[in-house]
């Protein structure tokens, strides 16, 4: 196979969610909010939240194990592990290395990739190049977040939105017409303060003051983010489809980042997609950031909604700001 003929195909998928369910009714008891406000403004009814003693690599590892098993691939054959996350186990080292050890993927290189909710798209774009070039034959792309650990549970504007979880895919070489057809990645750091955690890094290291002022928690300018999300997800989706020689009508299933039901509906309708062309699970899982697309893809697979030859469109938007999209034809 030459470089031009070789494609990266998604060979297996997996996902892992915490057991604990937090409903809108539970949140009503914690902050000044209502089930009606949350459901109407976001589409979320419940989300999964990790226990106090659980941490991100546990979910990332479970999702990766499932993806490897559905691909029929032993961990020893994995060449690279990309863990898309902004909620690592620890600031140092990369959680991907911890996952590598847990999986027993001793031959794999491993790194974390921080692109917020766009992290899975970024990871897919990077991995696709390594497979298409022939450098690597098996890559795990994991999207995993425990945003609950960075959530200010007194801030009703953010705490109702996020959920925890992990999803993973295995990429291996395949041939046209199957595989990843096109990807896109974008960023605009002038809006870095739309979604951010002010303290805990080198700019504002952890101190008693930063903890007292709750500066280790996520802050978001929701309304401005909303408008950017709709516009950029539509534009980048159109661009990758065009690059792949497809139109929105050729899309069998659109799996968008699940940030807000109204964002998903607006992007879907701007692209001219019918409701049955768009996969939505936000009502049960909330916004799981980098995990949202691979979790949704794994669910769609298990429900039998993805068939050989189907064109799948993924699009995401998140902190950075970052955004991007990918289109692939399912099968190998
Ligand atoms: O995943 C990464 C990207 N993230 C996103 O894409 C998030 C995008 N943004 C959003 O999804 C929406 O902006 C939110 C769901 C976060 C907020 O919805 P909104 O329609 O933009 O509401 P808003 O922020 O403009 O707030 C409207 C009102 C405010 O009250 P006043 O000032 O009008 O009296 C808020 O204080 O709603 C109030 N509010 C709430 N009320 C009840 C904000 N949060 C809540 C709440 N419960 N949880």
Query: CA-CA distances (angstroms) from residue 316 to 20, 267, 322?
Result: 26, 11, 8
pTM over 0.85: yes
| Angle CA 125–130–131, to nearest 5 | 95
* Residue 2: per-residue pLDDT: 62
183: tokens are 């990807």
pLDDT tens per residue, range 251-264: 999 999 999 999 99
CA of 156 to the centre of ligand 1 (A): 9
* Residue 5: per-residue pLDDT: 77
| Nearest alpha carbon, ligand 1 atom 25 | 223
* Residue 319: per-residue pLDDT: 97
Active site positions, annotated: 117, 257, 287
Mutate to test the pocket of ligand 1, among 157, 165, 267, 292 (most ligand atoms within 8 A of CB): 157
* Residue 53: per-residue pLDDT: 98
| Nearest alpha carbon, ligand 1 atom 35 | 157
| Residue in the structure block whose two tokens are 């898309």 | 84
**Res. 3 pLDDT band, cuts 50 70 90:** low
């Amino acid at each position: 196979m030459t470089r031009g003929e070789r494609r990266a195909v998604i060979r297996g998928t997996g996902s892992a969610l915490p057991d604990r369910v937090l409903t809108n009714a539970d949140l009503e008891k914690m902050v000044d909010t209502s089930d009606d406000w949350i459901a109407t403004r976001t589409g979320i009814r419940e989300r999964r939240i990790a226990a106090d003693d659980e941490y991100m690599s546990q979910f990332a590892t479970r999702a990766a194990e499932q993806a490897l098993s559905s691909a029929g691939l032993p961990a020893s054959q994995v060449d690279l592990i990309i863990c898309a996350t902004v909620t690592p186990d620890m600031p140092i080292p990369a959680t991907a290395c911890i996952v590598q050890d847990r999986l027993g993927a001793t031959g794999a290189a491993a790194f974390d990739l921080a692109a917020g909710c766009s992290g899975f798209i970024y990871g897919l774009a990077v991995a696709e190049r390594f497979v298409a070039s022939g450098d690597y034959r098996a890559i795990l792309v994991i999207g995993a977040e425990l945003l609950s650990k960075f959530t200010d549970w007194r801030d009703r504007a953010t705490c109702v939105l996020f959920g925890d979880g992990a999803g993973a895919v295995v990429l291996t070489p395949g041939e046209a017409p199957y595989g990843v057809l096109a990807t896109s990645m974008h960023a605009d750091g002038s809006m870095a303060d739309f979604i951010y955690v002010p303290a805990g890094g080198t700019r504002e290291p952890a101190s008693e003051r930063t903890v007292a002022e709750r500066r280790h928690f996520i802050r978001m300018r929701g309304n401005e983010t909303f408008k950017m999300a709709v516009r950029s997800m539509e534009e980048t989706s159109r661009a990758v489809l065009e690059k792949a020689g497809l139109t929105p009508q050729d899309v069998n299933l659109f799996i968008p980042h699940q940030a807000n039901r109204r964002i998903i509906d607006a992007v879907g309708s701007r692209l001219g997609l019918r409701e049955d062309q768009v996969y939505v699970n936000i009502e049960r899982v909330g916004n799981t950031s980098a995990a949202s697309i691979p979790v949704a893809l794994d669910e769609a697979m298990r429900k039998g909604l993805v068939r050989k030859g189907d064109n799948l469109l993924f699009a995401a938007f998140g902190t950075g700001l970052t955004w991007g999209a990918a289109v692939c034809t399912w099968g190998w």
